[in-house]
Amino acid sequence: MRDETPVAGIHSVRAALKHGADGVREIWLERSRRDRRLGDLAELAKSAGVKIRQMDRDALDGVAEGASHQGAIAWVSVPAARSERDLLALLETLDVPPFLLLLDEIQDPHNLGACLRTADAAGVHAVVAPKDNAVGLTPVVCKVASGAAETLPYIQVTNLARTMDALKERGIWLIGTAGESDATLFATDLTGSLGLVMGSEGSGLRRLTRARCDALVKLPMCGKVESLNVSVAAGVCLFEALRQRQAR
């Protein structure tokens, strides 16, 4: 039996039903809540053949564990990660410049879930990470990702450095983040075929990963702290890239 995790919130449940209904076992809707959007979710679920349960608010509150469920929760199967072969096949189908996020040994499931959610919002085509010494798609990751784990390809590779070489051969420019860099994120061209590379929570980019980056950039820091949480830093980088790409 596959692990399941609750995905809470109207937007997240809608995304799960629209883009990954095969992995949705059932949805819970708050019995006493009068909201047209819940009716829309019920129609989506019926069309997809997904079971609907009308539940009391206390039941939803208990499952959501403090998250804002808005009267809707979907029970979804934890998706399987994809392979390097899937990544290369995906790149062949794109008719726009690739936009990737590479995560080097991220181990905190909350960080990975937040990165997936932000990457999906920023229009990233896939997130790439190593199989070893990194968290995979766990129920906690999927819960924090709020539906993004079902909609955004998560690629786990045996050798991240080798995968980076393969991406570079395909003309994808790899930009890594490093606090000691002289170049800043906002002064760097992030348009075109791009892979943003983020290091782990503790030690940042590994030596071989760093060596394969075409350029290193830093985030301008104006306060006393020297670094940001990796999921926050990823969000800053991804949306700066999105801003530039939309302007272009």
Q: Distance between CA 56 and CA 247 in Å, rounded?
A: 47
pLDDT tops 80 at residue 236: yes
Whether residue 243 is found in the same domain as residue 127: yes
End position of a domain, from candidates 12, 44, 77: 77
Please give the annotated binding residues, written as ranges: 199, 219, 228
pLDDT at residue number 2: 53
Regarding whether 165 and 69 lie in a shared domain, the answer is no
For residues 33 and 88, give the distance between their C-alpha atoms in angstroms, rounded to a whole number.
45
Residue ranges for the known binding site for S-adenosyl-L-methionine are 199, 219, 228
* pLDDT above 60 (res 225): yes
Q: Are 114 and 186 in contact (CB under 8 A)?
A: no
Tokens of 7: 């995905």
Q: Do 50 and 144 lie in a common domain?
A: no
State the Cα–Cα distance between residues 205 and 202, nearest whole angstrom: 9
144: nearest Cα among 234, 245, 247, 231 = 231
Least confident of 51-55, 141-145, 180-184, 243-247: 141-145
Q: Identify whether residues 73 and 89 lie together within a single domain.
A: no
Which of 54, 77, 100 lies at the terminal end of a domain, its last residue? 77
Indicate the pTM of the whole model. 0.80
Same domain, 107 and 10: no
Angle at 165 between CA 159 and CA 169, to 5 degrees: 145
pLDDT at 162 over 70: yes
Q: Return the higher-pLDDT residue of 16 and 27.
A: 27
Domain count, the chain: 2
On average, the pLDDT of the chain sits at 91
Judgement on whether residues 237 and 137 belong to the same structural domain of the protein: yes
Whether 124 and 152 have beta carbons less than 8 Å apart is answered as: yes
- Whole domain around residue 242: which residue ranges? 84-247
